[in-house]
Amino acid sequence: DTAVSQTPKYLVTQMGNDKSIKCEQNLGHDTMYWYKQDSKKFLKIMFSYNNKELIINETVPNRFSPKSPDKAHLNLHINSLELGDSAVYFCASSLQQGAGYNEQFFGPGTRLTVL
Amino acid sequence: AQSVTQLDSQVPVFEEAPVELRCNYSSSVSVYLFWYVQYPNQGLQLLLKYLSGSTLVKGINGFEAEFNKSQTSFHLRKPSVHISDTAEYFCAVSFSSNTGKLIFGQGTTLQVKP
């Protein structure tokens, strides 16, 4: 009965490869997010989608492309992976867009290691 | 610009002692305030949040936090910690007129020693 799930949990790959991380939520939420947690544990938002529409797009390299096939799924595709992309990527969801008071529910994270 | 500062990167404390984790924010607009906890190798879990009303907020696992508007602070406290409270704690703010974007502090590692 996992609320927000991510696959894979671990991802080890070579520089220059392309990889995807998948996220699914079964909470019926409208809004989903991608966060990046760096080696110092600092968390920063990357993207947010509301009901399949992109609403937040932070200053992220365009090698990162989110895709939302439906409001329960938000995937992250990364092209031409670089060493600096190594991090833990968290997916999250919340009830409605624009409501800053809503709790965000986080997935377990995907640890990406680029060699 | 809005920002969140957690004043302590690490807080070591003995079991059953009280603890306070400090958080200050900077904003020119109204904010919503959150504390999240991250246990090792897990995602984040909400401890508590302040939206409005009473400035003392109680959360899960015996934690509480007090919103102080004049000092722009939202410090987290627990009167008696357990070994199981060892984790990373994140303060975060969201702004009342935005897209739900959370801005996180740098995190505080709480190390509870026996």
Please report, for the domain that includes residue B22, its CATH number: 2.60.40.10
Q: Which tokens sit at B26?
A: 């900077």
Q: Is there a contact between A107 and B43 if contact means CB atoms under 8 Å apart?
A: yes
Q: Average of pLDDT values for B10-24?
A: 97
Domain hosting B91: range is: 3-113
Residues of B with CB under 8 A from a CB of A: 32, 34, 36, 38, 41-46, 49, 51, 88, 90, 94-104, 106-107
Q: How far apart are CA A30 and CA A37, in angstroms?
A: 23
Q: Is there a contact between B95 and A31 if contact means CB atoms under 8 Å apart?
A: no
Of all residues in chain A, the one with the smallest CA distance to B96 is A100
Residue A68 sits in a domain whose CATH number is: 2.60.40.10
Q: Which tokens sit at B67?
A: 């919103």
Model confidence at B41, pLDDT cuts 50, 70, 90, reads: confident
Q: Is there a contact between A100 and B43 if contact means CB atoms under 8 Å apart?
A: no
Residue A87 has pLDDT above 90, yes or no: yes
Q: How far apart are CA B46 and CA B38, in angstroms?
A: 9
Q: How far apart are CA A81 and CA B13, in angstroms?
A: 40
Give the end-to-end CA distance of chain B in Å, rounded to a whole number: 41
Instruction: Mark residue A111 as left, alpha or beta (left: phi above 0; alpha: psi -120 to 50; beta: remaining).
Output: beta
Q: How far apart are CA A54 and CA A32, in angstroms?
A: 10
Q: Which residues of B touch A50 (CB under 8 A)?
A: 99
Q: Which residues of A touch B96 (CB under 8 A)?
A: 100-101
Query: Which of A2, A104, A110 has the most B C-beta neighbours within 10 Å, making it the best mutation to test the interface with B?
Result: A104
pLDDT of residue A98: 63
Residue holding tokens 């790959």? Answer: A13
Residue A110 lies in a domain: no
pLDDT, one tens digit per residue, over B74-112 is: 999 999 999 999 999 999 998 766 667 889 999 999 999
The percent of residues above 90 in pLDDT, for chain B, comes to: 78
- Split into its structural domains, chain A has a count of 1
φ and ψ at residue A84, rounded to 5 degrees: -70, -10
Query: Which of B94, B96, B108, B111 has the most A C-beta neighbours within 10 Å, making it the best mutation to test the interface with A?
Result: B94
Question: Which amino acid type is present at position B37?
Answer: V
**Is the separation of the CB atoms in B70 and B5 below 8 Å?**
no
pLDDT, one tens digit per residue, over A92-108 is: 999 876 667 788 999 99
Residue B21 has pLDDT above 70, yes or no: yes
Residue A112 lies in a domain: no
How far is CA B76 from its chain centroid? 5
Q: Which residues of A touch B88 (CB under 8 A)?
A: 41
- Name the least confident of A96-110, B38-52, B54-68: A96-110
pLDDT of residue B12: 97
- Split into its structural domains, chain B has a count of 1
The percent of residues above 70 in pLDDT, for chain A, comes to: 97
Q: Is there a contact between A108 and B100 if contact means CB atoms under 8 Å apart?
A: no
Mean pLDDT rounded to a whole number for chain A: 92
Residue A100 lies in a domain: no
Question: Which amino acid type is present at position B91?
Answer: C
φ and ψ at residue B60, rounded to 5 degrees: -80, 165
Residue A46 has pLDDT above 70, yes or no: yes
